[in-house]
A and B are shown apart, each in its own frame.
Chain A
């Protein structure tokens, strides 16, 4: 854990919590009975990095998880994999079997399906599911590191983060810090998609710029209008501002954005930012767990207002409503699902302000009436179990 602290590794699931500190808080409450969970739910439709890593380098993830088991004194290890990520699940199942045969000292890995729902990977939802309930968030505290799976201290770590842990254990904290910046060391797996030549998962230096990352994906197929950073809970950034932005926490924060789960999605000038934002918000509204009123009703109303705006069937008062509802939905759920949707909405209101103003006086752009979208298809919704 000292090496982890020295590496300054932060979680790569979206929240960016310092990994060493997280392990210590679980270890502090463990009496040799903690639980380690590899989080590969990856419910975000625009992110492919964890499922790709799981399919191609399953042992690297499990190496990191085995180190976690040892460090926090755990007696169980579970790999929680999105039901629709079949290649990753089979690779991890095969790898877990190999380890059971070849390394009998290691605590075995159970593979558990995560329902194909956006919030299934949220930590309290994950614990709920592993305890036999639906994959819906619960009220916190208690937090999983205190009372988690089977009521025990539980370490929940994103798959990519554990792969970095395995490499840091092999080559050291200094090696990890050779690339990236002081505050955001190492590399990151990013999913580059939208109007790029080769939509792909790429490992990049944390000091690289958004422009360099897009070049690494073969460059643009069309002129870019804006870039969505951090996935559906992320933020739109105008293309000219995004290009020179480094994928480094402080620099991203100063522009009101973050790397989140590592999505870089390019919106071409031939697409409508209002329409694409409406599609994302409609998807997120449908992915509410249906438990908290402001999320159930608020996200639906917000998505409807954006859809009206996209089609030009509205007036300026809808913009005021969107702002009011954003305020009424923020921080009013048991989990951060509504907060993530509001973050996306607020960035859309800012970045597509001019477009939206035209839409609201019933002059929608032509591309908003086109049915095509740059968004990847969302998986079919499954039950919550």
Chain B
């Protein structure tokens, strides 16, 4: 199974600051209340740098970049 980078969102930590969606709109949009909707699509190498920045910018550490097989959890 091919491993790729995926963004994992922790809804308990999240405070809807929304920086992640500003930085990585290709994979993260906001719902009607400002909480991120993270695409299940893997983060390819062209987006990896932006994804790292989105994760790092979250003031509540609610995002993680993790390596896992496509489509799995």
Contacts and interface: CB of A to CB of B under 8 A. Distances in A.
A and B co-occur in one complex: yes
A333 B33 contact: no
A49 B37 CA distance: 38
A293 B11 contact: yes
A298 interface: yes
B35 A294 contact: yes
Interface in A60-98: none
A297 B16 CA distance: 12
16 contacts: A139-B12, A291-B12, A292-B14, A293-B15, A293-B35, A294-B11, A294-B33, A294-B35, A295-B11, A298-B31, A328-B32, A328-B37, A332-B11, A332-B37, A334-B10, A334-B11
A332 B10 contact: no
Interface of B: 10-12, 14-16, 31-35, 37
Interface in A286-301: 291-295, 297-298, 301
A299 to B, nearest CB: 11
B31 A294 contact: yes
A333 B9 CA distance: 10
The 10 closest A-B pairs by CB, nearest first: A292-B11, A297-B33, A293-B35, A328-B31, A291-B12, A334-B12, A294-B35, A293-B16, A293-B33, A334-B11
A243 interface: no
A332 B10 CA distance: 9
Contacts of A332: 11, 31, 35, 37
Given A293-B16, A294-B31, A333 B11 contact: yes
